[in-house]
Amino acid sequence: MGWRTVYISNKNNLSQSLNNLIIKSKDGQTVSVPLNDISVVVLDNLQTNISASLLSKFADEGISLFVCDYKHMPSGICIPFNNHSRLTGISKLQICSSEPFKKRCWQKIIQAKISNQANVIKLLRLENYILLENLSKKVSSGDASNIEGQSAKIYWKSLFGDFIRTNKPSKIKNDDIRNIALNYGYSIIRGTIARSIAAAGLFPSIGVHHSNDLNSFNLADDFIEPFRPFVDIEVYNMYVKNRSDFSLVNFIKTDKIKLLELLQKNVFIDNKKETILNAIEVSIYSFVKAVKEKEPYKILLPSFL
């Protein structure tokens, strides 16, 4: 699997030749990148042209392609699908997973999420680390008591003060830059998880907790949860330390690149240091093992170093 993230912000023509991505600018300059090195491509210019043969190559090489809208936010993703040699067997086991199994999986995911949130607070030397860490230990099967919701209120207030977290753009002219950056970072992580899910032969639409019939990525929305805090701490470091009016800050190219570079940040998983990109794959393939063995505790999830 590749490791590079390619960010396209200008009008270019994209094609492929000899297993290389060919990027040709409007002034005729050409850049070549080996497809084997690429993990993610982000198109952040609506005038970029891309060839069908390159799209086919992206699928062959397991490369995720993100397309951004006129607001420069990820609005769609193209991921390889049905390229696992045992797709039918794995997907049947996934579909037949019992409710108790799925509830135990969700318990483990939410425990890891809240524990990571606690570590964000600890690393930033903010209040309520101990409270959040204790709450992570109280998560029951299926999170029946909604410890996740209780923790979220404490976490966001500790992290950003009087902050309203939303995944939808506001109707006012200037959105809070923190929400914009969080949504951008989450979109990249979510899409990368969806790619690993498809590559593992799982159905992205069948989650262990999320079950929206209109959502093609319910399972990705399950597994993104423990990865969210890695985006949160990056956004805090990008904006909170030096700025006070979060509605007057533009979300610029360098900010996007910082969030894309998160995929190469190191985390701890399976007793090893791995990049977030690799940790996502470790998590998803551990879930495949958990499904096969009907053992939710086989799932491996990331934590801070």
> What CATH number does the domain containing 28 carry?
3.100.10.20
How far is the CA of 123 from the CAs of 9, 63, 100, 148, 183, in angstroms?
Answer: 33, 33, 35, 20, 22
Question: pTM for this structure?
Answer: 0.89
pLDDT of the residue at 284: 97
103/185 same-domain check: yes
Instruction: Tell me the two tokens of residue 77.
Output: 């993703």
Q: Which residues pair with 67 in a beta bridge?
A: 43, 76
What gap in Å lies between CA 51 and CA 65, rounded to an integer? 13
Among 46, 78, 110, the domain boundary falls at 78
Quick check: 281 and 270 in contact, CB under 8 A? no
Instruction: Decide if 304 is inside a domain.
Output: no
What gap in Å lies between CA 266 and CA 280, rounded to an integer? 12
What gap in Å lies between CA 41 and CA 46, rounded to an integer? 14
35/150 same-domain check: no
Quick check: 207 and 221 in contact, CB under 8 A? yes
What rounded mean pLDDT belongs to the chain? 91
pLDDT of the residue at 162: 81
Top pLDDT among 174 and 114 is at 114
**What are 208-262's pLDDT values in tens digits?**
999 998 888 999 999 999 999 999 999 999 988 766 667 667 788 899 999 999 9
Among 23, 55, 78, the domain boundary falls at 78
Lowest mean pLDDT among 75-89, 149-163, 198-212: 75-89
- SS percent in the chain: helix, strand, coil, step 5: 50, 15, 35
Instruction: Decide if 38 is inside a domain.
Output: yes
Q: What mean pLDDT comes out for the span 158-167?
A: 87
Instruction: Decide if 305 is inside a domain.
Output: no
Q: Domain range for residue 43?
A: 4-78
What gap in Å lies between CA 237 and CA 142, rounded to an integer? 33
215/269 same-domain check: yes
For the chain, the residue count is 305
Which range, 163-167, 203-207, 222-226, is most confident?
222-226
Question: Can you give the CATH number for the domain in which 189 is found?
Answer: 1.20.120.920
Among 44, 78, 112, the domain boundary falls at 78
71/19 same-domain check: yes
100/26 same-domain check: no
Of 162, 158, 161, 145, residue with least CA distance to 118: 158
H/E stretch holding 275 reads strand 272-275
pLDDT for 37 beyond 70: yes
pLDDT for 65 beyond 80: yes
The 3-state DSSP class for residue 227 equals helix
pLDDT of the residue at 116: 99
Quick check: 210 and 223 in contact, CB under 8 A? no
Quick check: 15 and 4 in contact, CB under 8 A? no
Share of the chain above pLDDT 90, in %: 73
63/120 same-domain check: no
What gap in Å lies between CA 192 and CA 63, rounded to an integer? 9
